[in-house]
Structure 1
Amino acid sequence: MMRRFIFFLTLASCCLSFSQNKQILYGFSDIPQSTLLNPGKLIKNDWYFGIPLLSHIHANVGITGSTVYDIFANDGIDFNAKLQNAVYGMEANDFFSVNQQLEIFSGGFSFGSSYEKNEYISFGLYQELDVIAYFPKDLAILALEGNQNNINRSFSTSQVSVAAEAISVLHLGYTKKVNDHFTFGIRGKIYSSIANINATKNKGRFITVRGQNNFYDHIFNLDLEARTSGIASLSEDGSDSNSVARDLKKRLLFGGNLGLGFDVGFTKQLNKQWSFDASLLDVGFIRHTKDIENYKIEGDIVFEGINPIFPDIGNGQTAEDYWSEIEEDFEEIFELDTTATKYTTWRPIKLNTSLNYAFGKKKDKTCNCVKEEGDYLNAAGMQLFAMSRPKRPLLALTAYYYRRLFNGLQIKTTYTIDSYSPYNIGLGMSANLGKLNFYVMADNFLEFKNIYNAQSVSLQLGFNYIFNKNED
Structure 2
Amino acid sequence: MRRCAWFVILLVGVSYAQNKQILYGFTEIPQSLLQNPGGKISNDWYFGIPLLSHIHANGGSSGVTIYDLFAVDGENFNTKLERVVYSLKPTDFFTFNQQLEIVSGGFAFDPSYNKNQYISFGLYQEVDAIIYFPQDYAKLVYEGNQNNINRPFRLDHLNGTSELISVLHIGYNKVVNDKFTYGIRGKVYNSITNINSLNNKGTFITVNGDNNVYDHIFDLDLSLKTSGLVNLTTDSDFETKDITKQILFGGNLGLGVDLGFSYQINKQWYLDGSLLDIGFINHGKHVENYELKGNYVFEGINPIFPEVGSGQTADEYWTEIEQEFEDLFTIDTTKTKYTTWRPIKLNTSLNYTFGKRVSKECDCTFDDSGYLNRIGLQLYAVNRPKLPQVALTAYYYRRLLNGLSIKAAYTLDSYSFSNIGIGMSAQLGGINFYIMADNFLNFKNIYNAQSLSLQLGFNYIFTKDED
Paired AA for residue 444 in structure 2 = K
- Say which of 86, 89, 93 aligns to 1:88: 86
Paired AA for residue 286 in structure 1 = I
Aligned CA distance change for structure 1 residues 449 and 14 (closer, same or farther; 3 Å) = closer
How do 1:237-248 and structure 2 match up within 5 A?
238=236, 243=239, 245-248=240-243
Paired AA for residue 47 in structure 1 = W
Q: CA deviation at 1:124?
A: 0.1
Q: CA deviation at 1:273?
A: 0.4
Aligned to 1:415: 410
State the Cα deviation string for residues 379-422 of structure 1 (Å, max 9, x = none).
Answer: 00000000000000010000000000010100000000000010
| Local SS of the residue matching 1:25 | coil
Paired AA for residue 403 in structure 2 = G
Aligned to 1:405: 400
| Local SS of the residue matching 1:83 | helix
Distance 1:275 1:237 in 2: 55
Bigger drift between 440-449 and 306-315 goes to: 306-315
Distance 1:211 1:442 in 2: 57
Q: CA deviation at 1:113?
A: 4.9
Q: CA deviation at 1:255?
A: 0.5
| Local SS of the residue matching 2:242 | helix
| Local SS of the residue matching 2:343 | coil
User: Does the CA-based 8 Å contact 1:129-1:165 persist in structure 2?
Assistant: yes
State the Cα deviation string for residues 412-455 of structure 1 (Å, max 9, x = none).
Answer: 00000000010100000000111000000000000111111110
Is 1:272 matched up with 2:270? no
Distance 1:12 1:439 in 2: 34
Aligned CA distance change for structure 1 residues 238 and 12 (closer, same or farther; 3 Å) = farther
Q: CA deviation at 1:99?
A: 0.9
Aligned to 1:377: 372
Is 1:167 matched up with 2:165? yes
Aligned to 1:333: 328
- Say which of 183, 186, 197 aligns to 1:188: 186
Aligned to 2:211: 213
Aligned to 1:425: 420
Q: CA deviation at 1:239?
A: 6.8
Is 1:344 matched up with 2:342? no
Paired AA for residue 277 in structure 2 = D
Aligned to 2:31: 33
Aligned CA distance change for structure 1 residues 249 and 399 (closer, same or farther; 3 Å) = same
Distance 2:42 2:82 in 1: 53
Is 1:360 matched up with 2:355? yes
- Say which of 129, 135, 138 aligns to 1:137: 135
Aligned to 1:42: 40
- Say which of 229, 232, 235 aligns to 2:230: 232
TM superposition outliers: structure 1 runs of 4+ over 6 Å:
10-13
- Say which of 242, 254, 258 aligns to 1:259: 254
Aligned CA distance change for structure 1 residues 453 and 23 (closer, same or farther; 3 Å) = same
Paired AA for residue 376 in structure 1 = Y
State the Cα deviation string for residues 252-298 of structure 1 (Å, max 9, x = none).
Answer: 22210000000000001000000000100000000000000000000
Return 5+ residue gaps in structure 1 as ranges: 1-9
Is 1:51 matched up with 2:49? yes
Paired AA for residue 56 in structure 1 = H
Distance 2:184 2:369 in 1: 27
State the Cα deviation string for residues 343-369 of structure 1 (Å, max 9, x = none).
Answer: 000000000000000011112334220
Distance 2:72 2:58 in 1: 26
Is 1:291 matched up with 2:289? no
Distance 1:367 1:113 in 2: 40
Q: CA deviation at 1:63?
A: 0.6
* TM-score normalised by length of structure 1: 0.95
* Identical-pair percentage: 65
Q: CA deviation at 1:246?
A: 3.7
Paired AA for residue 164 in structure 2 = A
Aligned to 1:302: 297
Aligned to 1:5: none
State the Cα deviation string for residues 324-359 of structure 1 (Å, max 9, x = none).
Answer: 111111111111100000000000000000000001
Aligned to 1:73: 71
Distance 1:85 1:343 in 2: 39
Aligned to 1:122: 120
Is 1:319 matched up with 2:314? yes
- Say which of 87, 97, 100 aligns to 1:99: 97
User: Does the CA-based 8 Å contact 1:384-1:396 persist in structure 2?
Assistant: yes
Aligned CA distance change for structure 1 residues 382 and 15 (closer, same or farther; 3 Å) = farther
Paired AA for residue 227 in structure 1 = K
Bigger drift between 155-164 and 360-369 goes to: 360-369
Q: In the comparison of the two structures, how many residue pairs are matched?
A: 460
Distance 2:465 2:212 in 1: 84
Distance 1:53 1:227 in 2: 31
Distance 2:328 2:381 in 1: 43
Give me the CA root mean square deviation. 1.6
Aligned to 1:453: 448
Distance 2:361 2:44 in 1: 29
Distance 2:241 2:412 in 1: 42
* TM-score normalised by length of structure 2: 0.96
Distance 2:81 2:249 in 1: 45
